[in-house]
Amino acid sequence: MDGTPFGRYRLVELLGRGGMGEVWRAHDTETDRIVAIKLLPAFLSDDEEFKHRFRREAHAAARLNDPHVIPIHNYGEIDCQLYVDMRLIEGRDLQTALAEGPLDPARAVRIIEQVAMALHAAHKVGLLHRDIKPSNILLDDNDFAYLIDFGIARAIDETRMTKSGDTIGTFQYIAPERLDARADEDARADIYSLACVLYESLTGEPPFSGSTTAHLITAHLNAPPPRPSTTRPDVPPAVDDVIATGMAKDPNQRYATTIELANAATDAITAPIARASQIPPTAAAFAANTAASMPVTELAAQAQVVDPIPVATQHGPVPETPTPQLASWWRRQRRPVQLGLIVASVVILAVGTGIAGYVLRPHSPASSTQAAQPSTATQIPPPPTPAGPSPVAEGALDGLLLSPVDINTAMGANGMMVVRTLTAMGDNSADVPDKACRPIGGPLLAPVYADSGWRAFREQVLREPGTTWTHLTDQGVAVFHSAHEAGAFFDSSAQNWPACANRQFIKTVTGRPDIVRTVGPVANTNGTLSASFTAAGSTWTWQTCQRALTVANNVVVDVEACSSNRADAQSNDGVNIAHQIAAKVPTT
């Protein structure tokens, strides 16, 4: 591959240039992959203090171990130039998206929720971002969000490294305490900035405007937080309270974590967003049920009455529809739209979620015309459909999995501990040649969940320590946008699992004999799928496992519980664990 040599890399294409250096598309000749290379200005290599800070910050990023963190491949110095090797991201930033107009409230909250997860992962290990703004949030075509540019991050518990006293960060989103050099600064400054970005995502404008930096500083120090519902009529008033808390002048009055902010925002928009008169009467019941998982403004934009069609085997992104005309209240001067490749610099946090929804099918023209004709009969509107439970936010997943103590009790074991926390779904496509048995082959497998609309997952493997163990549990949860989508995945699984019932399939293991699994009957009892199988030819002379899958609210619970004790052959451990996890899912 052509390009300019740079150590082990070939610099193929300049993607961007800024005050802190250049970003290149590059080919890593050692790993034979395309990466993004951030090259810092050469003069910085002469600054030993900066080099020390650079390495410490890059090392701090490497400490992050979370499903939403994109790892740094490498960093260091080549030919007297500091660099960072990282994953290449295609998409555009939130600032560019907002140049086209403010976001639908549900979409805005989904993006903020993802950024909140990224920040939460950083805050837990003592890292601040300190420059949260729309241009530092990347979006791919499915609104998968990445928080970028931790180049100015620092460890909270480390000595401040900047000597000049200059404040880092963009003044449109800066927390009041960061304007006072004497004030303590912690993660709540990032919470303030995230609330500012939420406000701008909803209204199309930053929370405070001013022609000078002094005006912005005065506003952040003294002006009350703005109310998005007064600027945009279809934003629920409850969102005003979220902004007010997130942007409180006193850090002690803000949310304690970014997850609390995201959860509050999610709760605030679960009530119908659009006014009742804005929704066609025949669609009112549908809108009431789906307001939590689908922007009502999308419904209002439909020219025809539509029916929801749940798709059992494909819950991917909603097909792109023409962008409706911007609301009259939005008068923002558009920024130039800059599409293309955007690359994270120095430290990237990835925030995982899949975008899913309903497929909307318009009525036939005849039926639509007939529905629109006036009738001499008195039309009695149907009673309102009771609202379902509030969807579980991604941030709540961390508390759903069972503790090692609970797992040991459920399995009748001692000493089981977490030996692996998965950051990516597994893939048994190469290990299980029999496609019909892949869905039953293990929990939270990428080919099984593909295109189902899942947003995020948590998965842990627990067993006794050492190379010889008698009990193993693989427990996982996956959150969907709505209970409807989670239920559709369960229905699809209920159709697929029986294809592997009462027969054998082979699982290949590199360097070891194939494992022959004998599957028993598949049961679907009271909303829980289950199947047991024995494994022969494995490391253990005899093994039994039970798979269990159930749904609570918009969360799918997926479990496998295994034992090498023959006495456990008839146990119901997998189902019991799945039920205990499901009982922890909020349903109100």
352-374 pLDDT per residue, tens:
322 222 222 233 333 333 333 43
Residues carrying CATH 3.40.1000.70, the chain? 394-584
User: Which DSSP state fits 246?
Assistant: H
Q: Give residue 66's pLDDT.
A: 55
> Is 507 labelled a binding residue?
no
User: Which DSSP state fits 507?
Assistant: E
Q: Give residue 360's pLDDT.
A: 25
Q: Give residue 566's pLDDT.
A: 61
Q: Give residue 131's pLDDT.
A: 86
Please give the positions annotated as active site: 131
Residues 98, 336: Cα–Cα separation, whole Å: 10
**Helix/strand number for the chain, H first, E second:** 15, 23
User: Is beta strand 92-93 parallel, antiparallel or unpaired with respect to 137-139?
Assistant: antiparallel
Write the CATH number of the domain with boundaries 4-87. 3.30.200.20
Residue with tokens 């209240």: 329
Q: Give residue 400's pLDDT.
A: 94
Write the CATH number of the domain with boundaries 92-160+167-269. 1.10.510.10
Q: Give residue 512's pLDDT.
A: 73
Q: Give residue 361's pLDDT.
A: 27
Residues carrying CATH 1.10.510.10, the chain? 92-160+167-269
Residues with pLDDT less than 70, the chain:
1, 18-20, 64-71, 150-169, 271-388, 537-542, 566-570
502 token code pair: 């009462």
Domain 394-584: homologous superfamily in CATH: PknH-like extracellular domain (3.40.1000.70)
Q: For CA atoms 557, 112, 233, 253, give the dihedral sign.
A: positive
SS3 of the chain: helix, strand, coil, percent, to 5: 30, 25, 45
Phi, psi of 339 (to 5 degrees): -100, 175
Residues 240, 231: Cα–Cα separation, whole Å: 11
**Per-position b or e across 310-346, b if 16+ CB within 10 A of its CB:** ebbeebbebeeeeeeeeeeeeeeeeeeeeeeebbbbb
Q: Give residue 330's pLDDT.
A: 54
Cβ contact 112:68 at 8 Å? no
